[in-house]
Structure 1
Amino acid sequence: MTRYLRSFLSIRCLVALTCLALAQSGCKDDENPTKVINPLENPEDGPAAGNPDGKYPIPSAAGTEDVTNPDQMIGDGTAASCTGQLVVDAIAKGGKIVFDCGADPITITLPETAKIYNDASDEVVIDGGGLITLSGAGKRRILYMNTCDQSLTWTTSHCQDQQYPKLTLQNITFADGNSTSEKEYTGGGALWVRGGQLKVVNCRFFNNVCADTGPDLGGGAIRAFDQYEDRPIYVVNSTFGGEEGYGNSGSNGGALSSIGVSWTIINSLFSHNTAVGNGGNPAQSGTPGGGSGGAIYNDGNKMTLKVLGSLIENNEVNAYGAAIFFVSNNHTGNIVIEKSVIRNNAGGSWYPVYPGISMHDDTDIKVTVSEITE
């Protein structure tokens, strides 16, 4: 067994290598075949990844990607060999990226924002093996992907709706990202993404921030636009905040913010995130605007938000949507909440149907086997 396999795979995953090779949804727990084994379930450096009570079945499209034959390996088995510049350089080349930085958890501080180049590879997988934290040091955004940014190479004539790059983040932590200095591509303290496809599995987002005022920007952790064929972004077994002192914040959408994007959130945890803007959208007279969506901010037209097997609690806003802000401008969007708990979220107003959820009173919302309370 190589040193990399010892650091990357849990013992239970080693027993089930044939499952990993299939790469349909990661290694499975024999007692619960719908559950992806999570290498961040018992971390020593922060809240675990995912909702501990989440047992919603995970479709194969939402599982981890197979990285048993990586294109790039960062490190030679020691922590010192895993530098921020190596991470930036590897991400620019694309492909399947893994780490060999020793057996202990390690934080790698990036010297600059890592960028996904649209012509580098169709698929980009960044897998931390449950040991890697990428840090923006409270100074910079961690990761940026934009199919319509010419500096990253235009690969099609319809950059806003193209299949690739397909970006998967798995088994990794993003901490202390900060995009407040960004002027053109605002929001997304840890990650800003437009176009292609995004999937997040077994990840944690701690203390990421974006601009703290403004009526239509946000995403303390993730800001997203234009996914291929309007397919949903999957967020699976992941944690945004998780405990006091770990939460993400931004003007809107303390954790997630998007325009025209659908999300499917499975077995994930959102807590202690804050929307710190003031005045809503459009901004009330005399205010800078913002302050909506303590955990999640969705704006656009036809889009779907699915919250499945997840926990949203202890998030806070100044304006609307202590837990969720969902505005479908043409009233075609819908919300599905199943086997989830939404509770103890603070602040805000305009809750026509459920506490903590700001939406039009005619929004199609389906709630099944869930708890939604103040």
Structure 2
Amino acid sequence: MKSRQIAKLLVPVIAVCAVVFGLGPAASAAEACDPPAPMPVPASGTVVGDGSAQSCTAGALASAVARGGHVTFACGGAAVTIPVTTTISVTRTTVIDGGGTVTLAGGGANRILQVPNGTSLSVRNLRFVKGAAAQSANRDIGAGGAIAGGYKSHVEVVSSSFENNTAGLGGGAVYVGTGSSLSIVGSTFQGNSSWYGGAVYSLLSQLEVIDSTFTGNSTTTGGGMGEGGAIGTDGASMIAAGGRGGEIRVCGSTFTGNTGHGSGGGVYLWAYVPDRIIVERDAFKGNAIKPNDSGSVGLGGGARLSIGPTQYAASGGSVTVDGTSVVSNSGGDGGGLYVDCLPSCTITNSTFYGNSATAFGGAIMGDGHHDDNDTFAENEAGDHGGALWGNKIEISNSVFAGNAAHNPWGQAMACGATATGSHVVQWLTSGRDRSTPCVAQAIAADPLLGPPAANGGSTLTMMPAANSPVLNAGAGCEPVDQRGAARSVSRCDVGAVQRGALAPASPTQAG
């Protein structure tokens, strides 16, 4: 059972004990992102180098990798850069551990590591810079500037960094092909670029991204593409009749200042039924989506999350967003998120602040999503729906404050249409949130929210004041808030954060 499931089961017990013993609302068990099981380290191994920096060459590394097993380095202790002028092929199961001191540099001329079909590679504590895959429609040639995995490969990236890698087709830093698995844990990606998925491109493969950081990655436009400033996916599993589907999971990660064209300034996560997309405890800040040359206005400044049909199935799968902050992103439609909810889409315990769309949906654009315990504040749209734009939306236990749409009629300042749902606080009498109520029985009041701040947990939240009307205004809330703090058993606050609840300690605070 996942730690998040266990934590949710424990919440009622923790809260009841707190009330019985007079302790007030208690903190829930700290919710960490469950990393995938690491690749076992092979018993056999090879050391690159004899203790001197000069002995650590690309040739020595290639010889060690050819043997497979556990590859480590003895380069004298100081940081060392190894120029890799010819792509190194990994033909056996291999774990390469750079010990935090080794940089592999492609010089902007060639890919650094190639993982053939069916092969497994783990890179740990390594730095990859200026790897380059050529401009080619052939993925074997044009995808994965630093690392490219073939059909049914397994690629694992742990505590590593990727800077200024490029690919002509997709995955400026890392690419994996059909039927593969890619896991990324505790790693950083900065300044990588490609045509699709500026840093990472995963094709019909399982993807897990845990506790990682993506900054300033980008896509180029051309041929109607440019999706996914940091990450671009095309399916989570091989499409086949009776398939169970796969999973794309991004947890505890930060996306800042990434730029895409067409869809998904931060990430473009596209899958097929019955795949699952899970985005939890992430932070999207200052990402942007721009039009591409096919005429797309730019969908989803922070992210586009979509599951499409196949010839085998037209429904199924799910999109889940939980415990996430979406702040100051921009796009054409859906400044924060653009969602395609062919399956179910659930957005819970999340904060949307200061996002902007030139057309519709400052925070979110898309039909059919269910929003529970969310906060929408100071989002803007150039046309309609300062916060939300779409049909068949359900909203509960959520708050809207200071959202605006700049159409000449003063319409749809917060929401494009009245949704179903209840227990919503919306500042209907303000100059920005006036006009269309987001639900029929919205509570018209200033929610008195604080600015986005580090209130505990791993993402920014907007703490309501002690006299805020959102306090105790909810019912049937999520068992924990955005920070992972337990909500009251009997009464709960609307919005993403529960005032007075103790948040679990967090090692870092994402933007």
TM-score > 0.5 by shorter chain: yes
Corresponding residue to 1:255 among 185, 195, 199: 199
The answer for the alignment partner of 1:137 in structure 2 is: 107
Q: Which amino acid aligns with 2:126?
A: I
- Residue 224 of structure 1 pairs with residue 167 of structure 2: no
Pick closer, same or farther for the CA change 1:205–1:262 going to 2, 3 Å. same
How far, CA to CA, are the matches of 2:89 and 2:67 in structure 1? Answer: 9
How far, CA to CA, are the matches of 1:175 and 1:355 in structure 2? Answer: 26
Q: Deviations over 1:278-333 (max 9, x none)?
A: 3xxxxxxxxx23211001111135432211111011100122110111222x4332
Q: Which amino acid aligns with 2:32?
A: Y
Q: Do 1:238 and 1:267's aligned partners in 2 also have CA atoms closer than 8 Å?
A: yes
How far, CA to CA, are the matches of 1:318 and 1:183 in structure 2? Answer: 18
State the SS of the aligned residue for 1:128: strand
Report % sequence identity: 30
Pick closer, same or farther for the CA change 1:259–1:341 going to 2, 3 Å. same
The answer for the alignment partner of 2:45 in structure 1 is: 71
What is the alpha-carbon root mean square deviation over aligned residues? 2.4
Q: Which amino acid aligns with 1:357?
A: R
- Residue 270 of structure 1 pairs with residue 214 of structure 2: yes
Q: Which has the higher helix share?
A: 1
Alignment of 1:314-333 (within 5 A): 314-328=257-271, 330-333=272-275
Instruction: Pick the structure with greater CA Rg.
Output: 2
Q: Do 1:197 and 1:227's aligned partners in 2 also have CA atoms closer than 8 Å?
A: no
Q: Deviations over 1:42-83 (max 9, x none)?
A: xxxxxxxxxxxx983444614x7547x651100011101111
Q: Which amino acid aligns with 2:171?
A: G
- Residue 56 of structure 1 pairs with residue 3 of structure 2: no
Q: Deviations over 1:255-275 (max 9, x none)?
A: 101210121111000110001
Farther-moved stretch of structure 1 (217-226 vs 71-80) = 217-226
With the length of structure 1 as denominator, give the TM-score of the two structures.
Answer: 0.68
Q: Do 1:56 and 1:339's aligned partners in 2 also have CA atoms closer than 8 Å?
A: no
How far, CA to CA, are the matches of 1:182 and 1:340 in structure 2? Answer: 33
C-alpha deviation, 1:111, in angstroms: 2.6
- Residue 179 of structure 1 pairs with residue 149 of structure 2: no
How far, CA to CA, are the matches of 1:294 and 1:303 in structure 2? Answer: 23
State the SS of the aligned residue for 1:200: strand
C-alpha deviation, 1:226, in angstroms: 2.9
Q: Do 1:224 and 1:261's aligned partners in 2 also have CA atoms closer than 8 Å?
A: yes
- Number of residues of Structure 1 aligned to a counterpart in Structure 2: 275
Pick closer, same or farther for the CA change 1:277–1:88 going to 2, 3 Å. farther
The answer for the alignment partner of 1:100 in structure 2 is: 74
Alignment of 1:354-373 (within 5 A): 355-360=302-307, 364-373=318-327
The answer for the alignment partner of 1:109 in structure 2 is: 83
State the SS of the aligned residue for 2:121: strand
Q: Do 2:277 and 2:305's aligned partners in 1 also have CA atoms closer than 8 Å?
A: no
With the length of structure 2 as denominator, give the TM-score of the two structures.
Answer: 0.50
The answer for the alignment partner of 2:184 in structure 1 is: 235
Unaligned segments of structure 1, at least 5 residues: 1-53, 148-161, 212-216, 242-246, 279-287
State the SS of the aligned residue for 1:88: helix
How far, CA to CA, are the matches of 1:226 and 1:312 in structure 2? Answer: 25
C-alpha deviation, 1:360, in angstroms: 4.9
Unaligned segments of structure 2, at least 5 residues: 1-29, 240-244, 291-296, 309-314, 330-511
Alignment of 1:297-308 (within 5 A): 297-300=232-235, 302-308=245-251
C-alpha deviation, 1:205, in angstroms: 0.4
How far, CA to CA, are the matches of 2:59 and 2:307 in structure 1? Answer: 46
The answer for the alignment partner of 1:344 in structure 2 is: 286
The answer for the alignment partner of 1:125 in structure 2 is: 95
How far, CA to CA, are the matches of 1:314 and 1:303 in structure 2? Answer: 29
The answer for the alignment partner of 2:145 in structure 1 is: 189
